[in-house]
């Protein structure tokens, strides 16, 4: 017996006649979104501005002292804290005159009044170590200023060395070698004694007159140091 062959008609919807391999789905391209800044950016900007302000403050405080000077003065090298007063010099813009903190200012000079005792030689070494020297008094105005400051500051009766002494009895010279001018000498009544043991000079604060210099032995007394003020 011959076997029967059955035919069936099959239809495939939406399929092309040729078999096509499906490609893997393409990855979506990254969309262009606006770049988001880090949340810490405002803090970074604030920190930067703060550092700029600090730098400006340092420049304001430090730079003026070196302005116009190739090298800082000895006084500037020794001190970091200063007190300044403003003023206008003739023919110039406003400027500041500065002295180390704790020093007295008069005209273009700075003055240090000690509260410890040293010999005349040790006193001069101490002043030199601070970028200054024992005071040299050149005018009545300067003498009057020191008289007033000492009476406000010191204990009555304390002696303060100035930069005047005699290598030979009666031959008074300032420490820079300048002879004493009689027009700028402020001896107490009856002074100087001009005797061999007394070759150094102090301001004697017990004296109530501006004429208060006294020659003494070069033993232990307080001292007045003097230096040029720093002008900026």
Please list the residues that pair with 216 across neighbouring strands. 200
| d(C-alpha 137, C-alpha 151), whole Å | 17
pLDDT band per the 50, 70, 90 thresholds, residue 37: low
Domains in the chain (CATH in brackets) are: 111-225 (3.10.100.10)
**Predicted model pTM:** 0.69
Q: Evaluate if residue 16 carries a pLDDT over 50.
A: no
Give 53-80 pLDDT, tens digit per residue. Answer: 777 665 555 544 444 444 678 888 889 9
Q: Are 75 and 230 in contact (CB under 8 A)?
A: yes
Backbone angles phi and psi of 206, in degrees to 5: -70, -25
pLDDT attached to residue 2? 46
Q: Are 99 and 83 in contact (CB under 8 A)?
A: yes
Q: Evaluate if residue 220 carries a pLDDT over 50.
A: yes
Q: Are 221 and 127 in contact (CB under 8 A)?
A: no
| d(C-alpha 75, C-alpha 213), whole Å | 27
Both structure tokens of 73: 């003065």
DSSP structure string for 186-209:
-BPTT-----TT--EEEEETT--S
Query: What mean pLDDT is reported for the chain?
Result: 81
Least confident of 6-10, 88-92, 132-136, 189-193: 6-10
What single DSSP character describes residue 122? H
| d(C-alpha 211, C-alpha 186), whole Å | 4
More confident residue, 35 or 203: 203
Q: Are 227 and 109 in contact (CB under 8 A)?
A: yes
The position carrying tokens 């005018």 is 139
Q: Are strands 104-106 and 109-113 parallel, antiparallel or unpaired?
A: antiparallel
pLDDT attached to residue 40? 72
Both structure tokens of 129: 């170590």
Residue among 132, 135, 143, 128 nearest 165 (CA): 135
More confident residue, 14 or 127: 127
């Amino acid at each position: 017996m011959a076997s029967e062959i059955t035919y069936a008609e099959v239809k495939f919807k939406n399929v092309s006649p040729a078999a096509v391999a499906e490609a893997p789905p393409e990855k979506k391209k990254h969309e262009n979104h606006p770049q988001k800044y880090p949340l810490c950016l405002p803090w970074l900007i604030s920190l930067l501005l703060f550092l700029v302000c600090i730098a400006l403050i340092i420049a304001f405080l430090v730079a003026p002292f070196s302005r116009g000077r190739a090298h800082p003065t000895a006084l500037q090298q020794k001190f970091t804290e200063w007190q300044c007063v403003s003023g206008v010099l003739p023919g110039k813009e406003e400027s500041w005159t500065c002295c180390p903190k704790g020093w007295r200012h008069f005209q273009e000079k700075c003055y240090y009044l000690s509260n410890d005792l040293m010999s005349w030689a040790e006193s001069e070494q101490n002043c030199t170590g601070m970028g200054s020297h024992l005071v040299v008094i050149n005018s009545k105005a300067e003498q009057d200023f020191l008289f007033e400051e000492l009476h406000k500051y010191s204990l009555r009766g304390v002696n303060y060395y100035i930069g005047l002494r005699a290598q030979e009895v009666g031959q008074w010279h300032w420490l820079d070698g300048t002879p004493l001018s009689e027009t700028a000498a402020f001896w107490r009544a009856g002074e100087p004694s001009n005797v061999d043991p007394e070759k150094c000079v102090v301001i004697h604060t017990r004296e109530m007159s501006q004429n208060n210099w006294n020659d003494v032995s070069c033993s232990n007394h307080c001292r007045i140091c003097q230096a040029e003020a720093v002008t900026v």
